[in-house]
Amino acid sequence: MGVIFNQQDYRNPLSLSARFRRARTRHIKEMITEVSALKGACRIVDLGGRPDYWDLVGLSFLASHRVTVTTLNLEAQPPAENPLFDQRVGNACATGFADNTFDIAHSNSVIEHVGDWENVELFAAETRRLAPRYYVQTPYFWFPYEPHFSSIGFHWMPESLRARALMRGRHGFQEQTRDIGEAMRSVQHARLLDRNMMGFLFPDAELIPERVLGLTKSLMAIRR
């Protein structure tokens, strides 16, 4: 379990998670380059993101393309040392920003954490209206390995069985829970999406699969 968990630590550049994220940044860099060429600068809103994620894109790349990144999280984050980042507190399902305030709306492994389906739809709608271009990545429901709980087929089990498993011990990022209430909140905090759902939420996007051994591991919804 420890080896699997470490492989999910994107802060470790040798981990599988970091390597997959670096590969995905090709799409983000292409979008930034296009915007910067047209406008001379690029404004990005990162819904639920943090500045350290953008180390994988490259701070020198961001600076050379005059990128500014506004991160939006429910809770205040530690201050960013780099002036490229403007960290805000807010709800990504109701941001309060005007339409097309930004050039690119971005989120990485966030939409599956916003709550029930109503919130998922609100998150998608906010993403689509905040910028003419967007990039949304999420783990894929039909990939057998569940990344949040580091278990094969865990997300396909009934909620009650998943909750019992969390009460018995740690699974991935989730420590052993103290009671059924905490276990159910943890189970419902990660709701993976499939291709039909993503196609409905982002009808004007190209859905690009990220594959492992021929299986779709995650989906990227990209509107250029």
Cα(33)–Cα(54) distance, integer angstroms: 15
Q: What is the mean pLDDT of the chain?
A: 92
pLDDT in tens, 104-156: 999 999 999 999 999 999 999 999 999 999 999 999 999 999 999 999 999 99
Q: CATH code for 2-148+191-223?
A: 3.40.50.150
Burial (CB count within 10 angstroms: exposed 0-12, middle 13-18, buried 19+), residue 100: exposed
Q: What's the confidence (pLDDT) of residue 7?
A: 41
Compute how many other C-beta atoms are within 10 angstroms of the C-beta atom of residue 11: 11
- Domain spans of the chain, in order of start: 2-148+191-223, 153-189
